[in-house]
């Protein structure tokens, strides 16, 4: 019997929402545990609490007979009995937004039947800022708050042919400086909302015409949302990999991720992300 991945994700999201509501102030949310997660970032108390909520649900599935391996930003790789099924977890993508009380911070959970982005079969992103739930199953389409996303939606361009609205992430000012010429050539306006998962979902919903990270991202940030984009009719590439969806599902930053509503948009934005990892 297939594990109830969606039910587990929703229960974890509900617990996380309650935890964030109990810690509404910046003073509460900036408290650190004094440790670094396996992804290298300093762990916030809210990160640790969010991960506990996710692992509680995964352990419930394991107790019910599910077998899998978890790749989590905080704990790294955790063996629950099957290396062939990979659950990729980012408890709070956009932790800086969350700790500052800014919108767009998300729980991201992906399930894959293999080692790369191409093998992801389930994607779940719960954005706590606008209270939006994005869900996709491979071959079954994607939905926002239960309403199916239209895969026929295209892109908008300005009169001079540029993509009207493009998201950028990993926005270190030096990386923007290095990418500015390619961004000028491809993009009319930019948005940086501070979470790769949520930015990819904006492409899935055709709110953005495309997005790119300016340097390599980790699988925990993109695994779920890249499937949501593709199931919503968009296109995704990990530009430093031999295959567009060949990025491994581990914690190393292998490649930039680029997404767009059309193949043409994907090709154009891939010029922005052709930088070394």
- Residue 5 pLDDT class (50, 70, 90 cuts): very high
Q: Are strands 163-169 and 147-148 parallel, antiparallel or unpaired?
A: unpaired
Write down the pLDDT at residue 38: 58
105 and 92 Cβ atoms separated by less than 8 Å: yes
What are 181-237's pLDDT values in tens digits? Answer: 999 999 999 999 999 999 999 999 999 999 999 999 999 999 999 999 999 999 999
- Residue 34 pLDDT class (50, 70, 90 cuts): low
What are 127-173's pLDDT values in tens digits? Answer: 999 999 999 999 999 999 999 999 999 999 999 999 999 999 976 88
- Residue 39 pLDDT class (50, 70, 90 cuts): low
Residue 106 has pLDDT above 60, yes or no: yes
What is the pTM (predicted TM-score) of this model?
0.94
The number of C-alpha atoms within 13 Å of 175 and in the hemisphere containing its C-beta is 18
Whole-number Å distance between alpha carbons of 162 and 112: 35
Q: What is the mean pLDDT of residues 252-272?
A: 96
Whole-number Å distance between alpha carbons of 205 and 208: 8
**Domains of the chain by range and CATH?**
5-148 (3.30.540.10), 163-270 (3.40.190.80)
Q: Are strands 210-213 and 257-260 parallel, antiparallel or unpaired?
A: antiparallel
- H or E stretch covering 228: helix 219-231
Write down the pLDDT at residue 131: 95
Write down the pLDDT at residue 42: 66
93 and 195 Cβ atoms separated by less than 8 Å: yes
Whole-number Å distance between alpha carbons of 55 and 191: 33
Write down the pLDDT at residue 44: 79
Write down the pLDDT at residue 47: 87
Write down the pLDDT at residue 277: 47
Write down the pLDDT at residue 1: 74
Measure the CA angle with vertex 26, ends 20 and 27; round to 5°: 105
């Amino acid at each position: 019997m297939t594990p109830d991945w969606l039910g587990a994700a929703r229960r974890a999201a509900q617990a996380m929402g309650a935890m964030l509501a109990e810690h509404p102030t910046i003073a509460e949310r900036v408290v650190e545990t004094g440790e670094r997660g396996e992804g290298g970032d300093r762990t916030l108390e809210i990160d640790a609490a969010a991960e506990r909520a996710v692992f509680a649900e995964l352990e419930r599935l394991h107790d019910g007979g599910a077998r899998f391996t978890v790749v989590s930003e905080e704990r790294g790789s955790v063996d629950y009995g099957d290396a062939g099924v990979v659950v990729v977890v980012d408890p709070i993508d956009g932790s800086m937004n969350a700790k500052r009380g800014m919108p767009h911070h998300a729980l991201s959970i992906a399930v894959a039947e293999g080692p790369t982005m191409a093998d992801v079969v389930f994607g779940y992103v719960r954005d706590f800022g606008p209270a939006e739930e994005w869900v996709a199953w491979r071959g079954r389409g994607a939905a926002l708050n239960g309403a199916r996303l239209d895969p026929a939606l295209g892109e908008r361009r300005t009169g001079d042919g540029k993509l009207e609205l493009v998201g950028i992430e990993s926005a270190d000012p030096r990386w923007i400086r290095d990418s500015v010429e390619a961004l000028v050539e491809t993009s009319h306006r930019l948005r940086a909302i501070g979470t790769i998962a949520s930015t990819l979902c904006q492409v899935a919903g055709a709110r953005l015409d495309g997005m790119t990270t300016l340097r390599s991202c980790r699988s925990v940030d993109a695994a779920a949302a890249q499937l949501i984009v593709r199931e919503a009719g968009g296109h995704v590439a990990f530009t430093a990999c031999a295959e567009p969806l060949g990025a491994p599902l581990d914690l190393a930053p292998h490649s930039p991720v680029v997404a767009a509503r059309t193949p043409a948009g994907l090709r154009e934005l891939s010029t922005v992300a052709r930088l070394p990892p």
